[in-house]
Amino acid sequence: MDRALPSPGDVVAGKYRIERVAGEGGMGIVFEAHHLLFNERVALKVLFAESATKDSAIERFAREVQAAARIKSPHVAHVMDAGALENGLPFLAMEFLNGQDLGELLEKRKGALPVEEAANYILQALEAVGQAHALGIIHRDLKPPNLFVTELPDGSHVLKILDFGISKVMTAKAQRRDKILTGGGAAVLGSPAYMSPEQLRDASRIDHRADIWSLGVVMYELISGVLPFDADGVGELFAAILERDPVPLREKNPVAPEGIEAIVARCLKRNPDDRFQSAGEFAMALAPFAAEEWRPIADRLAKLEVRASSMREIETPAPGMHPADILRRSVETSSFVRPTNPEAPKKGSNRLLMGIGFASLLATVVVGVFAMASIRKTNAGGAPLGAAAGGPSAVTVVPFAVTTTVDTTSGAPSASASADIEVEDNPASGPALRPRLSPSQKKPVRPKFLHTPD
C-alpha cells in the first residue's frame, strides 16, 4: 500500500478511524471508517499520492466532490465531508452503503432481470440524473458498476448513483476546464461499451442526452443479459457504436414487452435529436412498466424540468477559488510531495510579518497617548482618579489589548493576547503609565504569547 495512505486503526482528519479497505481503483482507495463524532460508518475515499500530484486526477476528484454535494437526491450517495488529510492527500467522506452494484447483481443472477425490476432501477437512476441535469451536470460514466443497490435499515432497497469523477458541468468556465481535462477532446473519458457516439468522438462536446444513451445501454443489458454493442477489440466496438444499430431487444429476450423494446431503441438512436430529450420524458415512458411505488418519479421529474428552465446555473468559482485549486494547494504544501522545514521562515513573508508588527506597535503608542491625554484632562479638572485629592497616589487598572506582536528571532506573528497597564496618579508629577507589578515579583509581569507556525 502507498506509504502516504492511512492504515487500519489510524485516526485521520481528527475524526475518522480507519477500519479496513473497502475498495480500490486506479486513482485512489476507499476505506470503511468510523466517524468518531457521529458514531457511524462512513466511506472514506482517498487519492493515491501519485494521483494527487496530477492535475487531471485532482480536477476529477474535485468534480466528484462538488457534483455529489450539489445533487440533493436520495438516489445519490450523500456527501458528509471533503478536504485534505494531515499529509495533504485529498479525501471525500460519504455515507457507507451496504449492498451490491448492478454489475455484481447481473453476475450473481447469471442472466437477465425481470422487466419490472429493471424498470424500477432505471427510474431511480433517472431521478438522480434528472436532478443533475437540472443543475447543468452530466455524469458521462453511467454503467452497472456505478449504479449501486443499497439495503436500507428497514430492509428495502434503493439504487444510488456513484462516481461523478468525470462529470461535466455545462458552464462557459467549466467548458474551458473540461478542455484541459480531456486534452481538447483527444482523450476518451468513460467506459466505451456505455458511451454514446458523440462521446466517443469528443467527450468535451456533449450534452445531457449522452446520459440517456448510457442508461439505454444499461437497460438493454439488464433485460437481455448482454450488451447491445459487443466486439473483440476497442476499435471494433467503436465502429459498432458509431455505425450499426443494435440487435432488437426482443431477439435477445422474447418475453420483453414491445413497449420496452421501443423505449430502449429510442435511447440508442445515434442522433441525439432522435432520443428522449430529457430524463423526465424517458421516465414518463418507462413508468407504466415499473412497480407502483416508483412511478411517481416520472411526475416529480416533469415538475423539476418545468422549474429547471428558471433555475440559475451556478458558475464555476473564479480562478484560485475552484475546488480543484483548493485541493491542489493542500497537496503542493504537503510533506509527501515537497518536504519543508517548519522552523525556517518563508522568504517574502517576513516583510509582511514585520509590517504587521509595526502596525501593532503603532496602535499601542496611539492608544497610550490617548489614554495619557484623557487622564491628564480628568486630573486637571480636579476629579480624583482613585483617592481623595491631595492624598496618597492612587492606582487604576486599565485593560489594554495586545492583538499582535512579532518575535524578532523568528519573524512569526503571535496569537492574540492581552495585558494590563497601570495608571499611577502621583500628586507631584501627575499620572504615569507603567506595567502592572506582580505582588510576588519586582519585575513587570509580561504577557505570554503563543507563537503560531509560519
**Strand, helix or coil for residue 51:** helix
Torsion 50-53-54-60 (CA) sign = positive
pLDDT of the residue at 171: 42
**Pick from 79, 234, 83, 42: nearest CA to 164:** 79
Helices 279-286 & 115-134, crossing angle to 10 degrees?
A: 160
Inter-residue long-range contacts of 428-437, CB under 8 Å, 24+ positions, other chains counted: 430/376, 430/379, 431/372, 431/375, 431/376, 431/379, 431/385, 433/368, 433/371, 433/372, 436/397
Whether 81 sits among the annotated catalytic residues: the reply is no
Q: Which helix (H) or strand (E) element contains residue 376?
A: helix 350-380
pLDDT of the residue at 214: 96
403 and 360 Cβ atoms separated by less than 8 Å: yes
Kindly list the structural domains of the chain, giving each domain's residue range(s) and its CATH number in brackets, ordered by start: 1-96+318-340 (3.30.200.20), 100-309 (1.10.510.10), 350-435 (no CATH)
pLDDT of the residue at 162: 86
pLDDT of the residue at 23: 86
pLDDT of the residue at 320: 47
Catalytic option among 55, 81, 101, 141: 141
pLDDT of the residue at 111: 82
CA dist 341 → 70, 159, 195, 293, 344 (Å): 39, 49, 48, 60, 6
Cα–Cα dist 180/257, whole Å: 44
Q: Which helix (H) or strand (E) element contains residue 397?
A: strand 394-402
Query: What is the model's pTM?
Result: 0.66
87 and 334 Cβ atoms separated by less than 8 Å: yes
Torsion 242-245-247-249 (CA) sign = positive
pLDDT of the residue at 4: 80
pLDDT in tens, the chain (454 residues): 566 889 999 999 999 999 999 988 778 899 999 999 999 999 999 988 887 777 777 877 877 777 777 888 899 988 889 888 998 888 989 999 999 999 999 999 888 999 999 999 999 999 999 999 988 888 888 999 999 999 888 888 999 998 765 545 554 444 443 433 333 333 445 689 999 999 999 877 889 999 999 999 999 999 999 999 988 888 999 999 999 999 999 999 999 999 999 999 999 999 999 999 999 999 999 999 999 999 999 999 999 988 876 554 444 444 445 555 656 655 555 544 433 344 444 444 444 444 444 444 444 444 454 444 444 444 444 444 334 344 443 333 333 333 333 343 444 444 333 333 344 444 444 444 444 444 444 444 443 333 334 4
Residue whose grid cell is 502516504: 4
